[in-house]
């Protein structure tokens, strides 16, 4: 969910949470630099500039889309091939209002004529499908010539919107598979070029095997509402709360700013669908703090990029991909959350250990306590977590539908945002909502009370400004709705194109060919299949958003592992993890490059450092693919979970210390190799490897301790 959607030039000029540096606590990157970095590395940030009544008109359209989306997910009963084209058509309409054809300075209140043409024709194509679906189903593939033209316009307009809002890499992937589909129909099935194109257009646009497959279906049902919830959650000031809380907890420790970056990025990133957005937003505060403490620029940028990227695997939210996984795997949301806990903990533990050892090796200190937020003061704002807590409880317990849960969470965000200015209204409003959720037999009265309280709460704060999430006045409410609608655009485009990729793979039988090819190369060796699958995920994931990347991986790579005997959920988590780490893996490491831009460091060195810091993400998926006990699959006794937790933690420590080259003192190269080897042995699923790995890591620690004592003895003498 694009929680980190804020402060993007153009459509929105909502009041902002005041950056930390304006409060005199730390030096940070200027807002102008943040905007420039976002435009360079995040296509979503390159938007048109609207002012005056035009700005209000565009905001109104975006806000109305959010209202429509919430209404449809909660109440509408229209069939899928009406709901989905309408949803995508509105996305195309909004997309061309928001995103220009190219980067650079934009004319104010201007759309060129060709964008008007594409927008109108593209929107018309999807609404034509929605309103004529009954007759089109009767015709089947025997459509009129102009209907094929309409279908082509629909697909191409969506592809162009995807280029503008998401980027070129995903279109390169889609172009390859579409090209193969044309070849398949024209040559392999002897249809000829014209009939091949007609067949492809029909399947991609007029059936449920192209644009309107699982990604768009899930996006229109769940993801869009959760994105809107993210926009409201942002207005509560929760991101600033996370950063300040992390400062209070870890800021004074050795190398405190880096630990703050890990904690805050994990918390902010779990409700964000953008590695780049999270890197820039939290990194604009944490990276200058790390540099000021003494961390090397390339290391500071890498820490933020690695932690921000990992935020998307952090339960309980895990961005939008978790909701897609529910449909692909066929398990409840609560099951996804539970299985993600230990792998995510190991990921962040690896980064945390690495920054701690780096701080110890270079003698870096923390931030003086008198410059840090007071924990007792921050605890008073713990109510900011209420929307998240309620959402997770409702979804994980299947108390209500996911769409209903997200809608209620939006209302909680409104109440929480106003709680600071009027605690009585906030508390009574929250209690009314809880009564509405948990006591359905008493629906009428709480609903009326809630309506009155929200109206009073909004009216009482009219004209206020949003500082640290203090107020949610009518203007900010509309801004949040508009930002939620704007954030949906790129997800709609990415999911639609990902659906086309999945459709091309399915209709040509390419998936089975890829599976057969990999299995033939791997033989009976699972590790070989895992390695080739990892390469596919990283290569196909470079520059592709997490949501779209997971859709593609779930169609192409996950079936390979399932065929090799890997449990379904472990296979999907494997491709999910490696699709995510593509954002920090050179040569196309967008999150790392965004971090390097803030740190003013070498991009490639920053990417290499980020990959090293996130080494757990390259190891842990192999572990749970070969032994799903780490994901609590096939567990027979409680001590199995305890054992794998202990061995995994020690193993990650061994690998991290070996890569850092330090425990108590600098490690010679051969000790580093031993530490890494011991850590890997502990991560391998076997009792004998656990024993051997524990012995090696323990030996390394003892040797390091003795070496450090030996170095200190002459100095003491």
What the block records as the tokens of 320 is 């939008």
Question: Contact at 8 Å (CB) between 294 and 22?
Answer: no
Residue stretches of the chain with pLDDT short of 50: 1-26, 462-470, 715-717
**What letter does residue 7 receive in the DSSP assignment?**
S
Sign, Cα dihedral of 276, 35, 107, 111: positive
Alpha carbon distance 355, 662 (integer Å):
11
Contacts of 649 (CB under 8 A, 6+ apart): 346, 349
226 CB neighbour count, 10 Å cutoff: 30
Q: How far, CA to CA in Å, does 511 sit from each of 213, 502, 542, 552, 580?
A: 16, 9, 20, 11, 21
What pLDDT does residue 89 have? 96
Read off the pTM.
0.84
Phi/psi class of residue 380: alpha, beta or left (left: φ > 0; alpha: ψ in -120 to 50)?
alpha
**What letter does residue 439 receive in the DSSP assignment?**
-
Alpha carbon distance 283, 4 (integer Å):
12
Alpha carbon distance 502, 521 (integer Å):
23
Q: Is 716 helix (H, G, I), strand (E, B) or coil?
A: helix
Q: Is 10 helix (H, G, I), strand (E, B) or coil?
A: coil
Alpha carbon distance 580, 344 (integer Å):
12
Q: Over 196-252, what HEC string results?
A: HHHHHHHHHHCCCCCCCCHHHHHHHHHHHHHHHHHHHHHHCCHHHHHHHHHHHHHCC
Closest by CA to 352, choosing from 622, 657, 694, 678, is 657
Q: Is 103 helix (H, G, I), strand (E, B) or coil?
A: coil
Alpha carbon distance 96, 120 (integer Å):
9
What the block records as the tokens of 407 is 């809608």
Exposure class string for 642-664: b at 16+ Cβ within 10 A, else e: eebeebbbbbbbbbbbbbbbbbb
pLDDT digit string, tens, across residues 498-548 = 899 989 988 888 878 888 888 888 777 888 888 888 888 888 777 777 777
Q: Is 49 helix (H, G, I), strand (E, B) or coil?
A: strand
What pLDDT does residue 255 have? 78
What pLDDT does residue 370 have? 78
Residue 377: exposed, middle, or buried by beta-carbon count in 10 A (0-12, 13-18, 19+)? exposed
What pLDDT does residue 179 have? 93
Question: Contact at 8 Å (CB) between 29 and 68?
Answer: no
Residue 428: exposed, middle, or buried by beta-carbon count in 10 A (0-12, 13-18, 19+)? middle
């Amino acid at each position: 969910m694009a929680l980190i959607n804020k402060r993007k030039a153009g459509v929105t000029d909502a009041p902002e949470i005041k950056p930390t540096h304006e409060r005199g606590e730390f030096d940070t990157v200027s807002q102008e630099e943040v905007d420039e970095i976002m435009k360079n590395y995040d296509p979503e940030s390159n938007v048109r500039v609207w002012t005056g009544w035009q700005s209000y008109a565009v905001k109104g359209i975006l806000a109305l889309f959010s209202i429509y989306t919430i209404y449809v997910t909660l109440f509408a009963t229209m069939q899928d091939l009406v709901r989905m084209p309408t949803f995508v058509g509105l996305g195309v309409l909004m997309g061309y209002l928001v995103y220009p054809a190219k980067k650079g300075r934009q004319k104010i209140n201007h759309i060129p004529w060709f964008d008007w043409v594409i927008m109108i024709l593209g929107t018309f194509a999807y609404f034509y499908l929605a309103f004529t679906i009954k007759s089109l189903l009767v015709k089947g593939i025997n459509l009129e010539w102009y209907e094929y033209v309409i279908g082509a316009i629909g697909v191409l307009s969506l592809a162009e919107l995807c280029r503008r809002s998401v980027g070129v890499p995903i279109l390169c992937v889609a172009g390859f598979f579409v090209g193969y589909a044309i070849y398949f129909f024209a040559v392999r099935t002897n249809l000829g070029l014209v009939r091949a194109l007609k067949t492809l257009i029909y399947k991609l646009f007029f059936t449920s095997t192209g644009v309107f497959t699982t990604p768009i279906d899930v996006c229109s049902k769940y993801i869009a509402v959760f994105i809107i919830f993210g926009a409201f959650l942002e207005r509560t000031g929760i991101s600033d709360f996370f950063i300040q809380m992390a400062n209070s907890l870890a800021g004074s420790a050795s190398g405190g700013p880096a630990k703050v970056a890990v904690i805050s990025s994990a918390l902010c990133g779990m409700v964000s669908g953008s590695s780049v957005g999270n890197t820039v937003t939290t990194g604009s505060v944490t990276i200058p703090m790390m540099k000021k403490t003494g961390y090397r620029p390339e290391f500071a940028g890498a820490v933020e990029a690695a932690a921000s990227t990992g935020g998307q695997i952090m339960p309980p939210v895990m961005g939008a991909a978790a909701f897609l996984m529910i449909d692909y795997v066929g398990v409840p949301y609560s099951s996804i959350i539970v299985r993600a806990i230990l792998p995510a903990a190991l990921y962040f533990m690896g980064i945390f250990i690495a920054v701690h050892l780096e701080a110890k090796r270079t003698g870096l200190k923390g931030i003086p306590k008198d410059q840090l937020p007071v924990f007792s003061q921050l605890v008073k704002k713990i109510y900011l977590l209420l929307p998240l807590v309620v959402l997770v409880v409702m979804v994980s317990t299947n108390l209500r539908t996911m769409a209903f849960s997200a809608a209620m969470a939006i209302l909680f965000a409104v109440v929480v945002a106003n709680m600071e200015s009027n605690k009585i209204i906030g508390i009574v409003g929250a209690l009314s909502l809880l009564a509405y959720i948990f006591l359905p037999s008493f629906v009428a009265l709480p609903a009326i009370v809630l309506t009155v309280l929200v109206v009073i709460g909004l009216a009482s704060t009219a004209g206020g400004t949003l500082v640290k999430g203090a107020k949610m006045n009518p203007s900010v409410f509309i801004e949040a709705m508009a930002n939620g609608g704007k954030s949906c655009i790129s997800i709609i485009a990415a999911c639609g194109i990902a659906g086309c990729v999945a459709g091309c793979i399915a209709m040509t039988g390419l998936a089975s060919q890829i599976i057969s090819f990999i299995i033939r190369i791997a033989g009976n060796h699972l590790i070989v299949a895992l390695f080739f699958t990892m390469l596919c995920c990283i290569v196909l994931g470079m520059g592709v958003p997490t949501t779209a990347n997971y859709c593609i991986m779930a169609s192409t790579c996950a079936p390979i592992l399932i065929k090799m005997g890997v449990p379904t959920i472990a296979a999907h988590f494997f491709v999910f993890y490696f699709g995510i780490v593509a954002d920090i893996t050179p040569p196309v490491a967008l999150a790392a490059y965004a971090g390097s831009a803030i740190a003013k460091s070498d991009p490639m060195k920053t990417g290499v450092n980020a990959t090293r810091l996130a080494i757990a993400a390259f190891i842990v998926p192999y572990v749970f693919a070969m032994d799903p006990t780490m994901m609590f699959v096939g567990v027979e006794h409680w001590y199995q979970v305890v054992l794998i937790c202990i061995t995994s933690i020690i193993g990650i420590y061994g690998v991290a210390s070996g890569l850092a080259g330090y425990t108590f003192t600098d490690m010679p190269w051969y000790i580093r190799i031993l530490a890494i080897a011991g850590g890997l042995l502990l991560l391998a699923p076997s009792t004998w490897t656990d024993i051997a790995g524990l012995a090696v890591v323990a030996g390394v620690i003892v040797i390091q301790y003795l070496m450090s004592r030996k170095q200190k003895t002459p100095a003491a003498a």
